[in-house]
Amino acid sequence: MEWTAEQRAVIEASGSSLLVSAGAGTGKTAVLVERVLQSLAAGSRPVGVDRLLIVTFTEAAARELRVRIRETLAGLAAVRPALWREAIMVDQAWISTLHALCLRLLRKYFYLTDLDPAFRVSGEEEALALRRETLAGLLEDRYREGASDFLDLAESFAGPRGDEPLRRALLELHAFAVSQADPEDWLERAADAFRLPADLTLNHLPWAAAAVQIFRIDLDRAADLLEGAARLAARPRGPAAWGETLLSDAAKARDMVTALGRGWTAAAALTAGLQHGRMPAHRGEVHAAIKDRVSTMRREARTLVEGAKGWLERPPGDLLAELRSLAPRMTLLVGLVMELDRAYARAKASRLMLDYSDLERHCLSLLQGGAGVAARLRERFEEVLVDEFQDINPLQERLIEHLSRSGDDPSPNLFLVGDVKQSIYRFRMAEPALFLARYYDYPRRPGCRRLHLSTNFRSRPAIIHAVNFLFRQLLTEGVAELAYSPEVELVPSRPPVMAAEEVEVHLLERAGTRSAPEDEGAREDDDAGQESEEPGEAIEDEARIIADRIRALLHRDPPGLMVPDPVTRELRRPEYRDMTVLLRATRGQANQLLDVLRLQGVPAWGELATGYGDAVEVKVMLSLLRLIDNPLQDLPLAGVLLSPVVGMSPAELAALRMGSTADLGEAFLASGDPRIGEFRNRLDRWRTIARRRPVGDLIAAIYRETGYYDRVGAMPAGAQRQANLKSLQDRARAFDQGASRSLVGFLRLLEGIAEAGVDLGEAGALEGDEDAVRVMSVHGAKGLEFPVVFLAGLGRRLHARAADPHLAYHRRMGLGPAVVDQGLGVMYPSLAQQAVMGRLRLEDLAEELRILYVAMTRARERLFLIGTVRDRERSLARWTAAVTGHREVPLPDALLAGAGTALDWLGPALARHPSLGLLPAEDCLPPTEPSRFRLISPPAPPSGGEAPLPARKAVVPATVRPDPALQARFSNALNWRYPRESLAHHAAKRSVSELKGRGWEGEEEEFGAATAATAAPIGAGGMEAGTATHLVLRHLDLSALLDGPGIRRQMEDMLRRELIARRQVRMVDVEAIARFFAGPLGRRVLSDPTRARREVPFTLALPAAEVYPDMPEAQAAGERVLVQGIIDLILEEPHGLVILDFKTGRVVPGTEPAVANRHSFQVRLYARAAAALLGQPVSSAFLHFLAAGLTVEVPPA
């Protein structure tokens, strides 16, 4: 592959920590892979793949990297055989997400933590439900205690839904805090910030400085509006007499901006007595529309000025006193969050459960501990490569710092790659400021370098030029946190297809929303920054435009557009599968858009954010699961009886209910209807399965026995319905990994998720070969690319984080609470809240700009921008007025910060394009601009919005004579069953522990009663105690003295060698081990330690009929099942092998023979495996119960 100079520089850079700013489509993954390959294949000093750490943002990205590296190494190995080892080792290499890396380290070093080694990782929904449940218990205790300070806090958060605002604030603040490097420290500092020193002034208060920045942007916007209004007033038939006053007010706003640059006190002094000028009367005829527009611009400017004045005119002492008064409430709030974290940790521990943030926090504790794990890992890894670095949070950055050697180290090994312009995951606690800090710092920092990748290999030049033209104007440091400088601009590499390629901009207008001339002034204020009146209807109109353009691309356009086939890579005409519609968010839009596309004859599929819980097939399954849990529930029973699972009609259900004086459940149990009788039998069988098997197995059995999964597949939208049912089973299997695998626990989990207001969203159902248009969110499209992209919904309001009137919070600025005066019954923002919310508003705008950038850079061949406004002419006039006279390339921060929709950014930027003719040449950007746009203003549909659909052709029934042969073929095909179906339901590989716990049902049933009667309760640490005991038995030096003191000395040595953790030492029954070695069997082992083999792994192929006795003989014939296990000890003696299996659990005295009988099948397996491994007969086998000090001989065959 030919590498560009900038790519080659990134691939070959060494000797420093490296930050690579890689723009969209610049081949960063290919460069990352090549850099890895260069390290692995270096001639003089190659690096093993297991000496590299590669961190990705998604599991899909990790899989892609592994595949690319493995395939390339396999190709190179034909010339350099030594690389075969590296190719084989790729699957064991350290290539994973950060969560998977943390999980791997915690599994490996669990003995250095306080974690139970049997822990599992919960899903986000389960974790949220458990957090809410934990918080409910915590608040219930607090309400019961009735402390006055807590009740005051709860009262200050009270709303129409009771204390729900307090619950939401605690949950959200907890989720935010645990993403910080040190959650408790951040919370404590946030609360302490309100304990202000007595001599503090506003000029030295961080919140005041942040508020000043917001005021300056608002006042700049006000001045721009007033100056624009003065220019408008100077037009023919404008209110020219107002011009002087407007310019005077603009100058006052500019003076306030200047004063704010000197601090709060200076601005407050200037603001005192500041008055707006009075508008003089105007002479002559004035155009009403111009006058009203000028008035509206002046009103908006005055609102901005008065907002800043309102704060600056308040006495500083009052503002500081308010902040101090909030200190007790914030201390209590932070204490509740910390208490929630501790209670939540206990709840998770009782379930052997960790959530995703726990993985990072426990891993950080492990790396910060004194065992030297971090130092060993830093030494192990030759290079640490982190992809998508722009999306990490502070905690994750701290982890990376512990695992890598920074630029201050003599041999730095950190390689970071990302693009802050594509950081769009702030809602997941990503912090783009971390990337930006290094972006600005690395060029000046010793041992560090910053490089750029800017050549785009994805998109056509028309798209690249359009992106550059727009984002040169839209990305500024003041609002977007990064300027679109020449070094980050994209450079096209692909040739243009046509001489003048264009990006189409479709600006729609809602029918019936344009104001009448006399209503102009009243409606102008609403038009600024607003979406269309009916967003649902707007997206439907946009869908019709999209459908029309898709049909044109496929059928009507000249054959200029060709796309590469993803399989053959040959150019072909576009198909539906090449088209993608991107939305800022799918909630509330995608369903309608999909409906219109399908009605227009365009096959479409969407990954929806809502609708899963309302899907009929999911409701039926949940009703059935509730019925299995408790058959006497009328509503679930009625739902299942009416569903295809039973197939009753409403009339039959009514007759069943009316035919009994009891309730529906009793009528159901007493009914003699054959269908109901068959269903009762199934219900009994499923209830038995629910008691014995995991929930996922139960759902699989229901799908298999009822055929419901196949049935819904034959219904309209069958693929989507089947995907929803598959998703339910997947969620159940994930739940089954937990400590509680009961059906009632799974149902409670789903109820908790519903109570939390989480809509799981319909499952994705697009098959790889389905020819359909995709509808997806921009976030879902991140990292992907599509031949043709329609970016729709640009007229909808920009997304903003839900503003909690009680509390805001920010990583650097801490907490921003409201002031609540319960005596007066009023709530208003504190200075802290004003500052925090202002900063969050700017960060939200920056995120929205980055989302727009990501969306536009997904397109390869064609890009369409589509949005709807209420009044097209007024919107165009507003956008052109906003940039008239502006000569700098970036748009003013005040204009960017005042946007309400994406069109409020795109409109002013496009107005300056020299080819659109919206502004005079002097107000446009240079005529040499290479980008090309076509602004299309389609006529609005008739009021009511529905475009006529083509008339349906009459369907004439035909008389068809059935063909018996064809009928037989269809019947055979539809009724065909896989001849070896029973094999598909049995695992081909099992572990001995699985067979002991779940396999060979006859033997398990035989000894089940003995187990229940004889097993004494074992503590929660029983599993870990067993693990610790086996570790000691494995590593003991058998040639040394093995009495109690001798074993303890060896354990201390194991502790120093980090073979065992200190807390595990306390779990081991040393005296029990000493008693064994003092006994007859132990002395046989010690007589010649060289004959003892410990912890011997094996894999044994057994006849399927032996493992699964219920399998039909004909099916089992010739089939083998792999069984894996580990033998504790094999003693080689002249007369044969001796098998020894240690048991650490406690048993009731006198029941050891019964328990040994239960384990006899396990020992027999060990004997067969040992004989096969060593080629010697097994003479005897023993179980030794360490706690009881008893050895029981078991027949080896």
Task: Return the percentage of the chain with pLDDT > 70, whole number.
Answer: 89
* pLDDT of amino acid 748: 80
* pLDDT of amino acid 511: 64
What is the distance between the alpha carbons of residues 1 and 24, in angstroms, rounded to a whole number?
20
**Residue 720's pLDDT band (cuts 50, 70, 90):** confident
Mean pLDDT of 730-738: 79
> At 50, which amino acid appears?
D
> At 654, which amino acid appears?
A
- The helix-helix angle for 243-260 and 288-312 (nearest 10°) equals 30
**Residue 490's pLDDT band (cuts 50, 70, 90):** very high
Mean pLDDT of 300-324: 92
1139 and 1181 Cβ atoms separated by less than 8 Å: yes
* pLDDT of amino acid 547: 95
Q: Kindly tell me if the per-residue pLDDT of 1023 is higher than 80.
A: no
Q: Kindly tell me if the per-residue pLDDT of 1011 is higher than 70.
A: no
| DSSP notation for 334-395 | HHHHHHHHHHHHHHHHHTTEE-HHHHHHHHHHHHHSTT-HHHHHHHH-SEEEESSGGG--HH
Per the listing, tokens 């992209």 go with 789
Mean pLDDT of 704-730: 85
258 and 229 Cβ atoms separated by less than 8 Å: no
* pLDDT of amino acid 691: 85
* pLDDT of amino acid 501: 77
20 has which bridge partners? Answer: 417, 451
What is the distance between the alpha carbons of residues 601 and 846, in angstroms, rounded to a whole number?
38
Q: Kindly tell me if the per-residue pLDDT of 918 is higher than 50.
A: yes
> At 435, which amino acid appears?
F
> At 1019, which amino acid appears?
G
The reply to whether 988-1194 shares the fold of 503-607+771-799+862-936 is no
* pLDDT of amino acid 741: 67
**Residue 1059's pLDDT band (cuts 50, 70, 90):** confident
Tokens for 810, please give them. Answer: 């920010």
Q: Kindly tell me if the per-residue pLDDT of 1 is higher than 50.
A: yes
Name the class of domain 5-119+354-453. alpha beta
544 and 600 Cβ atoms separated by less than 8 Å: yes
User: What does pLDDT average to over the chain?
Assistant: 85
- Lowest-pLDDT range of 252-256, 785-789, 945-949, 1057-1061: 945-949
Mean pLDDT of 879-894: 91
What is the distance between the alpha carbons of residues 460 and 860, in angstroms, rounded to a whole number?
6
pLDDT tens digit sequence for 120-133: 888 887 888 889 88
CA-to-CA separations, 165 to 147, 151, 612, 803, in angstroms, rounded? 19, 14, 26, 11
pLDDT tens digit sequence for 930-979: 999 999 987 755 544 444 444 444 445 555 667 888 888 888 888 777 77
Coil, strand, or helix at residue 862? strand
pLDDT tens digit sequence for 860-885: 999 999 999 998 988 998 899 889 88
* pLDDT of amino acid 279: 85
* pLDDT of amino acid 1002: 32
Q: Kindly tell me if the per-residue pLDDT of 160 is higher than 80.
A: no
**Residue 1118's pLDDT band (cuts 50, 70, 90):** confident
Residues 6+ apart with CB under 8 A from 220: 253, 254, 257, 892, 893, 894
418 and 22 Cβ atoms separated by less than 8 Å: yes
Q: Kindly tell me if the per-residue pLDDT of 393 is higher than 70.
A: yes
Residues 6+ apart with CB under 8 A from 1141: 1127, 1128, 1129, 1159, 1162, 1163, 1166, 1181, 1182, 1183, 1184
461 and 439 Cβ atoms separated by less than 8 Å: no
What is the distance between the alpha carbons of residues 295 and 245, in angstroms, rounded to a whole number?
12
CA 1048 to chain centre: 48
Q: How are the residues of the chain apportioned to helix, strand and coil, as percentages rounded to the nearest 5?
A: 55, 15, 35
Residues 6+ apart with CB under 8 A from 971: none
Mean pLDDT of 454-460: 94
- Show the CA angle centred on residue 844, arms to residues 210 and 910, nearest 5°: 110
365: number of Cβ within 10 Å: 13
Q: Kindly tell me if the per-residue pLDDT of 289 is higher than 90.
A: no
Q: Kindly tell me if the per-residue pLDDT of 45 is higher than 90.
A: no
Mean pLDDT of 1065-1089: 92
Name the class of domain 503-607+771-799+862-936. alpha beta
The CATH architecture that domain 124-185+334-345 belongs to is Orthogonal Bundle (1.10)
What is the distance between the alpha carbons of residues 616 and 629, in angstroms, rounded to a whole number?
20
* pLDDT of amino acid 1083: 93
pLDDT tens digit sequence for 665-688: 788 877 888 888 888 888 888 988
Task: Return the percentage of the chain with pLDDT > 90, whole number.
Answer: 48
φ and ψ of 134, to 5 deg: -65, -45
Tally the C-alpha atoms within 13 A of residue 516's C-alpha that lie toward its C-beta.
2
Residues 6+ apart with CB under 8 A from 560: 497, 498
CA-to-CA separations, 84 to 48, 67, 380, in angstroms, rounded? 11, 14, 21
* pLDDT of amino acid 82: 83
What is the distance between the alpha carbons of residues 173 and 184, in angstroms, rounded to a whole number?
12
* pLDDT of amino acid 529: 47
* pLDDT of amino acid 378: 92
* pLDDT of amino acid 1042: 93
What is the distance between the alpha carbons of residues 761 and 763, in angstroms, rounded to a whole number?
6
> Of 384-393, 763-772, 945-954, 1105-1114, where does the model show the most confidence?
384-393
CA-based nearest residue to 353, from 126, 176, 183, 182 = 126
Q: Kindly tell me if the per-residue pLDDT of 1164 is higher than 70.
A: yes
pLDDT tens digit sequence for 807-862: 999 999 999 999 998 888 889 999 999 999 999 999 999 999 999 999 999 999 99
CA-to-CA separations, 495 to 30, 578, 673, 915, in angstroms, rounded? 21, 20, 73, 22
Residue of higher predicted confidence among 905 and 993: 905
CA-based nearest residue to 1054, from 111, 417, 38, 103 = 111
Mean pLDDT of 1020-1043: 83
511 and 871 Cβ atoms separated by less than 8 Å: no
Tokens for 1006, please give them. Answer: 């035989």
Coil, strand, or helix at residue 294? helix
936 has which bridge partners? Answer: 506
Tokens for 653, please give them. Answer: 């259900």
Q: 616-755 belongs to which homologous superfamily? A: PCRA; domain 4 (1.10.486.10)
Exposure class string for 444-455: b at 16+ Cβ within 10 A, else e:
ebebbbbbbbbb
CATH 3.90.320.10 fits 988-1194, yes or no: yes
Residue of higher predicted confidence among 313 and 1064: 313
* pLDDT of amino acid 1057: 81
Exposure class string for 73-112: b at 16+ Cβ within 10 A, else e:
beebbeeeeebeebbeebeebbbbbbbbbbbebbeebbbb
> Of 191-195, 599-603, 720-724, 1187-1191, where does the model show the most confidence?
191-195
**Residue 1079's pLDDT band (cuts 50, 70, 90):** very high
CA 1009 to chain centre: 46
What is the distance between the alpha carbons of residues 22 and 451, in angstroms, rounded to a whole number?
8
**Residue 742's pLDDT band (cuts 50, 70, 90):** confident
* pLDDT of amino acid 944: 43
Could you tell me the residue ranges of all domains in the chain? Answer: 5-119+354-453, 124-185+334-345, 202-277+300-323, 503-607+771-799+862-936, 616-755, 988-1194
**Residue 518's pLDDT band (cuts 50, 70, 90):** very low
Q: Kindly tell me if the per-residue pLDDT of 1119 is higher than 50.
A: yes
Q: What does pTM read for this prediction?
A: 0.75
What is the distance between the alpha carbons of residues 770 and 755, in angstroms, rounded to a whole number?
36
* pLDDT of amino acid 853: 97
